[in-house]
């Protein structure tokens, strides 16, 4: 099949998932065309059957706010027409699904691709609640040929927040770990570690990720010499630097910004820590699971679909830093338990959230909508 994929190209779960899906589809013999304002950062070059089409956005003085949706939809229509795409797959509804619907409408009926929209999280939970976006998202979902959500939680939220009553197929995320470029010892040396347990957090640092709670939690972990925390920041960490200092964590926290070789750090880490107020899935937890690393996370959103509490990680019911710190302390003190949870996490990731499990679900969906 010929599939167009539109996603955010920068560091972020939806873009990572969309890029991995495109790569896997090409391996299965499909032709895949990425359409976005920048090349997705993980998209490999020189792969036969894998194309990237940039969307050019001109900056006109007459607009107070530059518009991306229209040039995107024009490019989607152009690529659909020129390459005879079967499917346009929009990852993250805003504005990608709306642009896809518009692109389809620009084409003659016999040249129109099917539109598949995958909801990733804040497109429903945040923007879906915004009266300036909600009706447009509802419209795009209603006019999509198929809608998927990355968790059962997100499916239920989409029905209730947007009042969307059409079918939504739950297709969980998957992750394909790349082999690390450096050894565990090399990375731990780079991080200045000795025998400490390495805690790991990776996110875009937006308020919803509760970096305040993350820092507060590690400040309460005792003994403090037992751990260090590496934060892989997909955003600017500067606003948190003062809090790190005030909490006396300067020698406990290592920040790496815009890291692309996350596998190096995942294999060097021992335990993930995630404090978000909401997550539709939390791809970062899955990334750690693929390396046999368990996580401590709050029992929110779709996270219980990823981690089975006390089996493949630990879920904490509150947003209390002490409760989170106690869960971390128990696992720092018990390497055997950490290892058992990590092994179970890896098995669960392979069984439920691997490319082999998930990619055929998308292929079947494409075939169904094209029938």
Q: Which residues make up the interface to ligand GMT (CB under 6 A)? A: 12-14, 17, 92, 120-122, 150, 173, 204, 206, 208, 278-283
Question: Taking a C-beta distance cutoff of 8 angstroms, is the pair 333, 313 a contact?
Answer: no
Can you tell me the distance from the alpha carbon of 281 to that of 295, in angstroms, rounded to the nearest whole number?
A: 13
Instruction: Name which of 73 and 278 has its Cβ closer to ligand GMT.
Output: 278
Q: Compute CA 191 distance to the chain's CA centroid, rounded to the nearest angstrom.
A: 25
Instruction: Name which of 160 and 246 has its Cβ closer to ligand GMT.
Output: 160
Work out how close the CB of 295 gets to ligand GMT at its nearest, in angstroms, rounded to a whole number: 13
Instruction: Name which of 286 and 327 has its Cβ closer to ligand GMT.
Output: 286
Instruction: Name which of 90 and 332 has its Cβ closer to ligand GMT.
Output: 90
Q: Which helix (H) or strand (E) holds 231?
A: strand 227-233
Work out how close the CB of 134 gets to ligand GMT at its nearest, in angstroms, rounded to a whole number: 17
5 forms beta bridges with 34, 89
Question: Taking a C-beta distance cutoff of 8 angstroms, is the pair 274, 303 a contact?
Answer: yes
Work out how close the CB of 124 gets to ligand GMT at its nearest, in angstroms, rounded to a whole number: 8
Residue least distant from ligand GMT (Cβ): 121
3-class DSSP state of 80: helix
Q: CB within 8 A of 137, min separation 6: which ones? A: 93, 94, 97, 98, 123, 124, 127, 128, 162
Inter-helix orientation angle 211-219/321-333, to 10°: 60
Q: Which helix (H) or strand (E) holds 50?
A: strand 50-54
Instruction: Name which of 222 and 260 has its Cβ closer to ligand GMT.
Output: 260
Work out how close the CB of 183 gets to ligand GMT at its nearest, in angstroms, rounded to a whole number: 28
Work out how close the CB of 206 gets to ligand GMT at its nearest, in angstroms, rounded to a whole number: 6
Q: Compute CA 124 distance to the chain's CA centroid, rounded to the nearest angstrom.
A: 14
Inter-helix orientation angle 134-142/93-106, to 10°: 50
Instruction: Name which of 13 and 272 has its Cβ closer to ligand GMT.
Output: 13
Can you tell me the distance from the alpha carbon of 350 to that of 370, in angstroms, rounded to the nearest whole number?
A: 29
Can you tell me the distance from the alpha carbon of 5 to that of 24, in angstroms, rounded to the nearest whole number?
A: 13
Q: Are strands 271-274 and 197-203 parallel, antiparallel or unpaired?
A: parallel
Instruction: Name which of 8 and 265 has its Cβ closer to ligand GMT.
Output: 8
3-class DSSP state of 331: helix
Instruction: Name which of 7 and 268 has its Cβ closer to ligand GMT.
Output: 7
Count the Cβ atoms, other than its own, within 10 Å of residue 370.
12
Work out how close the CB of 222 gets to ligand GMT at its nearest, in angstroms, rounded to a whole number: 30
Work out how close the CB of 120 gets to ligand GMT at its nearest, in angstroms, rounded to a whole number: 4
Work out how close the CB of 121 gets to ligand GMT at its nearest, in angstroms, rounded to a whole number: 2
């Amino acid at each position: 099949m010929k599939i167009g994929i539109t996603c955010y190209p920068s560091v972020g779960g939806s873009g990572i998932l969309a890029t991995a899906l495109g790569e896997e589809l090409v391996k299965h013999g499909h032709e895949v065309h990425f359409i976005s304002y920048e090349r997705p950062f993980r998209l490999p070059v020189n792969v036969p059957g894998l194309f990237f089409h940039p969307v050019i956005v001109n900056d006109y003085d007459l607009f107070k706010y530059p518009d991306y949706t229209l040039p995107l939809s024009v490019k989607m229509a152009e690529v659909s027409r020129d390459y005879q795409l079967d499917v346009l797959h929009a990852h993250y509804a805003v504005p990608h699904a709306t642009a896809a619907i518009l692109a389809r409408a620009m084409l003659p009926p016999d040249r129109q691709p099917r539109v598949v929209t995958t909801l990733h999280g804040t497109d429903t939970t945040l923007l879906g609640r915004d009266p300036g976006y909600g009706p447009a998202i509802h419209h795009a979902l209603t006019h999509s040929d198929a809608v998927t959500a990355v968790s059962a939680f997100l499916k239920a939220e989409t029905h209730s927040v947007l009042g969307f009553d059409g079918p939504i197929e739950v297709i969980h995320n998957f992750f394909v770990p790349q082999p690390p470029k450096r050894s565990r010892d090399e990375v731990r040396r780079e991080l200045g570690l000795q025998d400490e347990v390495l805690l790991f957090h990776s996110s875009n640092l937006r308020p919803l990720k509760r970096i305040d709670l993350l820092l507060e939690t590690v400040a309460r972990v005792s003994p403090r010499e037992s751990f260090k925390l590496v934060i892989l920041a997909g955003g600017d960490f500067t606003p948190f630097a003062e809090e790190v200092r005030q909490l006396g964590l300067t020698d406990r926290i290592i920040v790496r910004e815009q890291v692309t070789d996350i596998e190096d750090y995942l294999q060097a880490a021992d335990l993930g820590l995630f404090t978000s107020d909401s997550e539709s899935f939390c791809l970062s937890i899955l990334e750690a699971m693929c390396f046999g690393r368990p996580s401590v996370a709050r029992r929110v959103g779709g996270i219980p679909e990823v981690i089975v509490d006390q089996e493949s990680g630990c879920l904490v019911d509150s947003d209390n830093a002490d409760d989170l710190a106690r869960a971390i302390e128990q696992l720092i003190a018990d390497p055997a338990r950490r290892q058992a949870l990590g092994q179970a996490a890896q098995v669960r990731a392979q069984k439920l959230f691997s490319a082999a499990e998930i990619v055929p679900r998308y292929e079947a969906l494409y075939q169904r909508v094209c029938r």
